[in-house]
Amino acid sequence: MRREAALAFALLLGGCVDTELGLDATVDSARVTVAASDVVTTRLETTYRVGEYAEGDRLFQPNGIELYVGETLVARMVPSVPPTFVQRVSPGESRMSPILGEDDMATDPRSLCGAEVRVLIRWLDASTMEIGMTETTTSDVTCE
129 — alpha (psi -120 to 50), left (phi > 0) or beta?
left
The tens digit of pLDDT for each residue in 24-59 reads 999 999 999 999 999 999 999 999 999 998 889 999
Cα-based distances in Å from 67 to 37, 54, 79: 18, 31, 12
Confidence check: pLDDT of 21 > 90: no
Confidence check: pLDDT of 14 > 60: no
Q: Which of 1-5, 70-74, 118-122 has the lowest mean pLDDT?
A: 1-5
Overall average pLDDT of the 46-75 stretch: 96
Confidence check: pLDDT of 11 > 60: no
Q: Global pTM?
A: 0.83
Rounded CA separation 44/29 (Å) = 6
Domains of the chain (ranges plus CATH)? 18-143 (2.60.40.10)
Rounded CA separation 114/142 (Å) = 8
Percentage of residues in the chain having pLDDT higher than 90: 82
The tens digit of pLDDT for each residue in 106-134 reads 999 999 999 999 999 999 999 999 999 99
Rounded CA separation 89/96 (Å) = 11
Place 5 in a pLDDT band, splitting at 50, 70 and 90.
Answer: low
